[in-house]
Chain A
Amino acid sequence: MSTKHKNRYMYAERNMWTGILFGFGFVAFIDEAVFHQLLHWHHFYDKSTTDIGLVSDGLFHAFSFFATIGSSFLLADLHRRHAFWLKRWLGGIFLGAGAFQLYDGIIQHKWMNLHQIRYGVDILPYDLVWNISATIMIVIGIFLLYSTRQRAKADPYAY
């Protein structure tokens, strides 16, 4: 077996986490850049925002920086170790992106009333598209992670 595959299997977990963090940070970035700054659909602050919503927003806002920058360095590290596994990394991205979008759509928008996707329109179709696309991303992510895990498990060195 080539060294490349051995390294991949050895760093299977790290490939996944690098992807999850990157997917998470990427969605947070899209949220900020597109929905807050370009479209102005989201609001910086909504009168109905709860205290817990404010705390949650702060935590996720800060974490998204860590996730994006940290996962980029982790990615460089995987390449340095010749252990990068594209399929598993992508699986992580889909899972991380979907999970954050679902959290944002269900918990932050609906339960904590942080802000809505858009104001002055019928919100239901927006919420549906938002949360269904999040669920699809999670399913794709889990599928990719599962199939790569099976491959890694078949390798005697892997776990």
Chain B
Amino acid sequence: MHTSNLVQVILVTPFLLAFILYLTAVIVSNRNKKQWPIYRIVLWIVGILSATITVIGPLAQQMHTNFSAHMIGHLLLGMLAPLFIALAAPMTLILRTLPVPLARNITYVLRSWPLQILHHPITASILNVGGLWLLYTTELFHMMHQNMLLYVTIHFHVFLAGYLFTISIIYIDPSPNRKSYMFRSVIFFIALSGHAILSKYIYANPPVGVTKAEAELGGMIMYYGGDAIEVGLICILFYQWYKHSRFRGQTNLQSYEKGGFHIKHNPENYTVVGTDIEEVKRLNANSGMSYKELNEWFAKKVKSETTGITGQQSKNNGEV
């Protein structure tokens, strides 16, 4: 099937709109806020480009007849574009651009339970990898190329499910109801396995309308190409863990030095008083308050919260 121009327009419009909106938001918010990082703008451009070339232009045309091209398109639209777009932190940009009351309403919506369920790593993984299993192991793949509506829906689904999955595993934008690194790693690992198994399954069982040779090449592209992008995602996940776990170590060592117990299962990255400094820093980075102001505010808060503990410590020191 030769995609009609209408289909291409329908698919490309949201990406084009998103592209323009992002740049507008950067210009508007830069007027009275800290400069929005250039690298995020670059990530956004690359992300939108990766998605766009799979729905319009020569690659998009190739994808209909050539299964290898289809697989490359699938990797770009469902994995690479979502990763770059997530790293461009669009939600952070929107929240800092809009007037505060409106931004607050948006965060209420983001915190609502339907979105929380969608954003859960398990739901996102099922939508993402489960959707792919459905596409390649049933008649759906063949039907997609006959039916325009199905074609559009599946392409949006691949992108949206890929994006949802990415942001359920790595937190770049403000994400309420966060899951632990361990939990996210385990779900990510299972989803990754599902992707690798499906690749080899396609290799051995070509989808309807795909020849054996095409399926073998396509399966290998999906297997190794998926690996390459997933390596990037895993590195980001562990790097975030590495940055966050700094404080826990010091806390453990302090309790160890005192000859006491060390907290083995301390939930992630909290200071002695139970405040997640990195998280506070990150969320405030774009909210208008300067880093120094934040530190002062934070110091005041910590002081008021820990007066009891510090008092006790100085008393102990006195006795020693």
Contact = CB atoms under 8 A, between A and B. Distances in A.
Interface of A: 6-7, 10, 44-45, 49, 54-55, 57-59, 61-63, 65-66, 69-70, 72-73, 76-77, 80-81, 157
Given A69-B238, A73-B238, A73-B241, A57 B230 contact: no
Contacts of B246: 80
Interface in B151-207: 185, 188-190, 192-197, 200-201, 203-204
Interface of B: 185, 188-190, 192-197, 200-201, 203-204, 220, 223, 227, 230-231, 234-235, 238-239, 241-242, 245-246, 249, 252-253, 256, 259, 262
Given A69-B235, A81-B249, A81-B253, A58 B197 contact: yes
Interface of B is mostly: helix
30 contacts: A7-B253, A10-B252, A45-B203, A49-B204, A54-B197, A55-B197, A57-B196, A57-B200, A58-B194, A58-B195, A58-B196, A59-B193, A61-B193, A61-B196, A62-B192, A62-B195, A63-B189, A65-B230, A65-B231, A65-B234, A66-B185, A66-B188, A66-B192, A70-B185, A70-B234, A73-B239, A73-B242, A77-B249, A80-B246, A81-B253
Contacts of A66: 185, 188-189, 192, 234
A82 B15 CA distance: 48
A20 to B, nearest CB: 16
B256 A62 contact: no
A65 B238 contact: no
Contacts of A69: 231, 234-235, 238
A65 B227 contact: yes
A135 to B, nearest CB: 27
Contact of B193 (A6, A10, A62, A157): A62
Contacts of B193: 55, 58-59, 61-63
Contacts of B242: 73, 76-77
Contact of A45 (B190, B204, B234, B245): B204
Nearest to A69: B234
User: Top 10 A-B pairs ranked by shortest CB distance?
Assistant: A58-B197, A62-B192, A58-B196, A73-B238, A62-B193, A58-B193, A59-B193, A61-B196, A69-B234, A73-B242
B256 A157 contact: yes
Given A10-B256, A10-B262, A62 B238 contact: no
B230 A54 contact: no
A7 B252 CA distance: 10
Contacts of B231: 65, 69
A77 B201 CA distance: 38
Given A62-B195, A62-B230, A65-B231, 18 more contacts: A7-B253, A45-B200, A54-B197, A54-B201, A58-B194, A59-B193, A62-B189, A65-B227, A66-B188, A69-B235, A70-B234, A73-B238, A73-B239, A73-B241, A76-B242, A77-B242, A81-B249, A157-B259
Given A6-B256, A44-B220, A62 B203 contact: no
Most B C-beta atoms less than 10 A away, residue of A62, A63, A80: A62
Contacts of A6: 256
Nearest to A7: B253
Contacts of B235: 69
Contacts of B230: 62, 65
